[in-house]
Amino acid sequence: MGNENANNLQNREVAVELRNISKHFKGVYANKNINISLFKGEILSILGENGSGKTTLMNMLSGIYQPEEGEIFINGEKASIHSPRDAFDYGIGMVHQHFKLVDVFTAAENIVLGIKDKESLKDAYSKLTEISTRYGFDIDLKKKIHNMSVSEKQTVEIIKVLYRNASILILDEPTAVLTPQEADKLFGIIRKMRDDGKSIILITHKLAEVLSVSDRVAILRKGEYITTLNTKETDERELTEYMVGKKVDLKLERLRILASPPVLEIRGLNVKKDDGTNAIQDLSFYLRGGQILGVAGIAGCGQKELCEAIVGLRHYTGLITHKGQNIGGFSPEKIKEIGIRMSFIPEDRLGLGLAPNLSITDNLLLKTYRQNKGIFVDRETARSEAKELIERYGVVTPSTETPVKNLSGGNIQKILVGREIGSDPNVIITAYPVRGLDINSSYMIYDILNEEKAKNTSILFIGEDLDVLLTFCDKIMVLCEGKCMGIVHTKNTTKEEIGLMMTGAKNLVELYPEKEQGIAPDSLLTKKEWKQLAKENEKNDK
Amino acid sequence: MTNKHREPLFTVFKRTSFSKKNSILLRVGIIAFTFLVSMIVCSIVIKENMFAIIGTFFSGAVARPWKLILDACILLGFGVAIVPAFKMKYWNMGANGQVIMGTLVSIVIMFYMGNFALRSGFNNFLTLVLMFISSVVVSTIWAVIPAIFKVFFKTNEVLFNLMMNYIAAGLVAYTNYALAKGQKEAQDVTLLNEGGWLPSIVTKNFNSNYLVASIIIILMTVFVFIYMSKTKHGYEVTVVGDSAPTARYVGMHTKTIVIRTLILNGIMCGILGFLYASAINHSMNPSMCGSLGFTAVLIAWLSNFNPIIMSIVSFGLAFLTIGTSKISSVYRIGNNDLANVIIGLMFFAILISEFFIRYQVRINIKMLNRKKEVEE
């Protein structure tokens, strides 16, 4: 195999070489003269901020887009990739950020779907079992996709690619949807694949991941190729500088603020999931003004349902009081009517927080359109608000009238957070607000939340990165299968302790029953009043 | 390796940029081309000079301008009536049934109150008001029933509305029979007099009944345009259509919004039904709307639910319909099949142009050559 990479000092075989690749959309370069090579049996990270062209570049390699200029060499030969099928023929498989699976099919059916050579499902099973054991996948091939967790779905996608004999795997932000534990497991699998001779490209913007998993890292900035480094010879600071283009000093800090009396007090909350099973069981906690309460837990153990119940989108039993006033069973509208300024930044940004096909202006209107008197909506005010928001948070968009679904993930989140903060809330409920965002956007969101905290706002922060939760929040409530495992001050705990609580191995509620977890000592209501409220609630339910 | 990687002959790409001007040019071009082709086909079938046929087409279309405008307005009326519901992603396939139910009650009132109405202008006015209100109420009920079932019992509105169409047609057929029993000519009921007709402004050249009806529908169009783009209600409809969970999240009552919108839809269908009885047909039969309720869906969709574009599309379609039926009658083709074929071709052309506006097709010349080599 001819090795055409003159710069290759390590004299290793090149699996993929991208030469002077360019691609532009509507006159804007998404990729400009990119030169990257991938060796056989290595893990190469492609690092870059949101919108730096990582995904576009990989989409060209996997046949979704065609480059306008430049050439792609696979195993030393010039390749023309016109469709994902061509890419498969070259042994390239991509696992996208958004999974492309048929919900009502089983894992195995999804994997063999679209393969032309008629192979019976039975033969497929033996091959699939072989793949699973070789790389250590833990998956039930007969399980239907709609019963699967996100991490299981991702596993199916990866096996699908391996089953098609891919030797070059591209993983687009694979850990964006995983818990730390799941991510670690995935990295183990990736390393095994590398040792098996496969070449892996990891698209990411998480520096810790880059440093711990990959052999080399290629950095893109604003569509241009910056450099490629050996991960062993670099550190977080250097990578950030290359990525952002200037020296940055990002620090996550916990603001010290004198917390005020409880604002939101929640007792004995029970919430059900859509399928009728228990999501949250007998949960009690409280939020103070000027305090951030983090919620840690494995994905899908009731966080979503908890948020929806508090803001009035989901039925629940139990008591929720706001400054001593019972708001049990109130709809979002009613909560707003009685003057509670509650903001909710949901996990599902385009499905719940925003209307994807509507413009930025119209999405800002969602919260305020009722305020205008008369039958008409006031788009002019909303438009100027949109302009302000775009300027203040540095949203990258062609205009205020662009549908939000056309924006990148970070910009979408800025619109959502900007709108929610703009309504001057005194309670903020936020679920995974930085999921899928790059460093700059993430820190911007943290800064905004800290600013709100300084204004004496109560914040419930559902998070996934334990390091962030431990440095950013004042207290952490740990959930395990919908039950509270304890509420701890971040300064008195460790990552290990929280990890143990997340899996249910340590339960502070059972360990110290005399310490009433989640009951404010300075509650605004007396025990008698709480009892009375509970009685009223029971009556109403009947 | 080279043999393994067969490249496809055609590759379809999503267009990343396409200017508005180009897309209009493309549309007009494809439509003109299809029109030309269909005229050539006509001239082959009829064995007549193509230019003579084209002449017949245009002179036929503009021969009765008020009829042309009315036909365009009726199409437009059906279109705008369903726009709010469709924008909400509520697929109202029952516009036909909703309109003929409105006509049904109006005709019944005209049948029984015709003599009363003729006595004075005021009486006629009272009759018209009564017809209008009852048509609107009945059409609204017809439109809201499936909506209530959808909202509270999660039934499918498409099937439900299609069934409602059949029921409405059945009711019209029965009422026709029942009313016509005493009359000599059986089939359809014949109104005995002009009681309950919309007033005429008599001049030489046109039937003014058509004009009043057309103006009412144009006003309806303007209303829908403002309602959808400027009012809070229209805004809520758009949000519910785009993402119902988001609407709930910001505290909108989605159930109320769905039913409210279908009431509006029903009112507009009721107005159309009233116009059919008082100005357009003065009679009824189960198939009087043809498939307008479905054509309207196509028009609304092609116009991206924009009432202004819908006006243009409706006018074009009405022009085409009248022109082609003129060809049929002048050259004695007998029925309207040729006209229908041409209209079908035109719709097909519009759909094709939509495809080429969104996608770009690249032909792989290398593969073409290779195919030739293999064949040789």
* Mean pLDDT value of segment A223-233: 91
CB contact under 8 A, B231 and A25: no
Which residue shows structure tokens 């099919």? A105
Q: Which of A3-17, A410-424, B178-192, B228-242 has the lowest mean pLDDT?
A: A3-17
Say whether residue A122 is in contact with chain B using an 8 A CB cutoff: no
Q: Cβ–Cβ of B231/A377 closer than 8 Å?
A: yes
Residue A4 has pLDDT above 90, yes or no: no
Q: Are strands A291-296 and A475-480 parallel, antiparallel or unpaired?
A: parallel
CB A478 within 8 Å of CB A505: no
Does residue B374 register a pLDDT over 70?
A: no
pLDDT above 70 covers what percent of chain B? Answer: 89
pLDDT at B209 over 70: no
Confidence bin at A10 (pLDDT 50/70/90): low
Whose structure tokens read 């705990």?
A493
Residues of chain A with Cβ-Cβ distance to B249 below 8 Å are 311, 313, 332, 344, 346, 352-353
Map out the domains of chain B with their CATH numbers: 65-308 (1.10.3470)
* pTM confidence score: 0.77
pLDDT interval class at A376 (50, 70, 90): very high
**Percentage of chain A with pLDDT > 70?**
94
CA–CA gap between residue B269 and residue B77 (Å, rounded): 8
B1·A27 Cβ contact <8 A: no
Calpha distance A250→A45 (Å, rounded): 22
Q: In this predicted structure, which of A199-203, B53-57, B356-360 has the lowest mean pLDDT?
A: B356-360
Q: Does the beta-carbon distance from B249 to A313 stay under 8 Å?
A: yes
Residues B237 and B257: beta-carbon distance below 8 Å:
yes
Which among B191, B209, B239, B213 is positioned nearest to B77, based on CA atoms? B213
Contacts of B239 in chain A (CB under 8 A): 355, 358, 362, 366
CB-based contact B248 A358, cutoff 8 Å: no
- The 3 state secondary structure assigned to A172-183 is ECHHHHCCHHHH
Q: Measured between CA atoms, how close is A354 to chain B, in angstroms?
A: 6
Q: Are strands A325-326 and A316-322 parallel, antiparallel or unpaired?
A: antiparallel
pLDDT class for B188, splitting at 50, 70, 90?
A: low
Q: What is the mean pLDDT of chain A?
A: 86
Residue A333's alpha-carbon distances to A361, A375, A415, A541, in angstroms, are: 21, 19, 21, 20
Chain B residues touching A83 at Cβ < 8 A:
8, 11
Chain A nearest C-alpha distance from B26 (Å): 19
The model's pLDDT over B221-256, given as tens digits with 9 standing for 90+, comes to 999 999 999 999 999 999 999 999 999 888 889 999
A265-282 confidence digits (pLDDT tens): 999 899 998 888 888 999
Confidence (pLDDT) at A1: 35
Best residue in B242, B364, B365, B366 for a mutation probing chain A (most A CBs within 10 Å) = B242
State mean pLDDT over B43-48. 85
> Tokens at residue B18, please?
């396409």
pLDDT of residue A534: 83
Look at B204 and B165; give whichever has higher pLDDT. B165
A354: contact with B, CB 8 A cutoff: yes
Of A26, A352, A365, the CB nearest to B245: A352
Amino acid occupying residue A477: M
CB contact under 8 A, B231 and A376: yes
**Interchain contact, B250 vs A332, CB within 8 Å:** yes
Asked if the C-beta of A369 comes within 8 angstroms of chain B's C-beta atoms, the answer is yes
Give the C-alpha separation, A357 to B239, whole Å. 9
Of B8, B230, B248, the CB nearest to A377: B230
Mutate which: B12, B17, B246, vs A, most A CBs within 10 A:
B246
Residue type at A263? V
What are the CB-based long-range contacts (under 8 Å, 24+) for A184-187?
A186/A151, A186/A154, A187/A212, A187/A213
Tell me what pLDDT residue A83 has: 85
The predicted pLDDT at position A117 comes to 66
DSSP B263-298: HHHHHHHHHHHHHIIIII-SS--TTTTTTHHHHHHH
B304 CB within 8 Å of a chain A CB = no
Residue A6 has pLDDT above 80, yes or no: no
Interface test with A, best of B1, B3, B87, B232 (most A CBs within 10 A): B232
Strand order in the sheet with A43-47: A77-79, A69-74, A14-25, A28-39, A224-230, A216-221, A43-47, A199-204, A168-172, A92-95
| Pairing status of strand A168-172 against strand A199-204 | parallel
More confident site: B29 or B16: B29
Residue B85 reports pLDDT greater than 60: yes
pLDDT of residue A542: 67
State which residue of chain B sits closest to A345, comparing Cα positions.
B249
- Residue A12 pLDDT > 50, yes or no? yes
CB-CB under 8 Å, A86 with B5: yes
- Give residue A8's pLDDT: 42
Contact check, Cβ <8 Å, A370/B16: no
Model pLDDT for residues A507-519, shown as the tens digit of each residue: 888 888 878 788 8
Size of interface A-B (CB pairs under 8 A): 82
| Predicted pLDDT of residue A406 | 83
Set of chain B residues whose Cβ sits within 8 Å of the Cβ of A355: 238-239, 242-243, 246-247
- Nearest by CB to residue A377, choosing from B8, B235, B245, is B235
- Does residue A99 sit at the B interface (CB-CB below 8 Å)? no
Q: In this complex, which of B231, B251, B252 lies closest to A375 when CB atoms are compared? A: B231
CA angle, A95 then A97 then A103, to 5°: 80
Asked if A355 reaches chain B (Cβ–Cβ under 8 Å), the answer is: yes
Nearest to A365 among B8, B17, B235 (CB): B235
Could you tell me which CATH class the domain A14-244 is placed in? alpha beta
Note the pLDDT tens digit of each residue in B254-267. Answer: 999 999 999 999 99
Decide if pLDDT at B366 tops 70.
Answer: no
Residues in chain A closer than 8 A to B1 (CB atoms): 77
Nearest-by-Cβ selection for B232 from A346, A350, A369 = A369
Does position A299 have pLDDT exceeding 80, yes or no?
no
ipTM of the shown complex: 0.82
- In angstroms, rounded to a whole number, what is the distance separating the alpha carbons of residues B242 and B86? 11
The pLDDT value given to residue B109: 92
Domains A14-244 and A262-341+425-541 in one fold: yes
SS3 of residue A416 by DSSP: helix
Chain position carrying tokens 């800025």: A414
Mean pLDDT to the nearest integer, A305-327:
89
The token pair at B54 is 């084209």
Q: How far is B223 from chain A (nearest CA, A)?
A: 13
**For residues A457 and A449, what is the distance between their CA atoms, to the nearest angstrom?**
9
Architecture of the domain whose range is A262-341+425-541: 3-Layer(aba) Sandwich (3.40)
**B13 pairs with which residues across the strands?**
B360
Q: What is the reported pLDDT for B370?
A: 64
**In Å, how far is B115's CA from the nearest CA of chain A?**
43
Separation of alpha carbons B36 and A118, rounded Å: 47
User: Does the pLDDT of residue B189 top 50, yes or no?
Assistant: yes
Distance CA A534, CA A520 (A): 17
Chain B partners within 8 Å of A344 (Cβ):
249
Per-residue pLDDT averaged across B121-145, rounded? Answer: 94
pLDDT tens, B307-346? 999 999 999 999 998 998 888 888 877 677 777 888 888 8
Cβ distance A82 to B4 less than 8 Å, yes or no, reads: no
* Alpha carbon distance A90, A65 (integer Å): 16
Q: What pLDDT is stored for residue A29 in this prediction?
A: 79
Of A83, A352, A377, the CB nearest to B232: A377
**pLDDT tens by residue, A25-83:** 766 778 888 999 999 999 999 998 777 888 889 989 988 888 888 899 998 888 888 88
DSSP-based three-state secondary structure for A458: strand
Where are the extended beta strands (E) located within A445-496? 458-462, 475-480, 483-489
In Å, how far is B238's CA from the nearest CA of chain A? 8
Among A102-111, B15-24, B217-226, the range with the most confident prediction by mean pLDDT is B217-226
Q: Taking residues B101-105, report their average pLDDT.
A: 95
Domain residue extents for chain A: 14-244, 262-341+425-541, 354-423
**Which pLDDT value is given to residue B352?**
87
What's the pLDDT at B279? 85
Q: For residue B256, list chain A residues with Cβ-Cβ distance below 8 A.
A: none
Is B67 an 8 Å CB contact of chain A? no
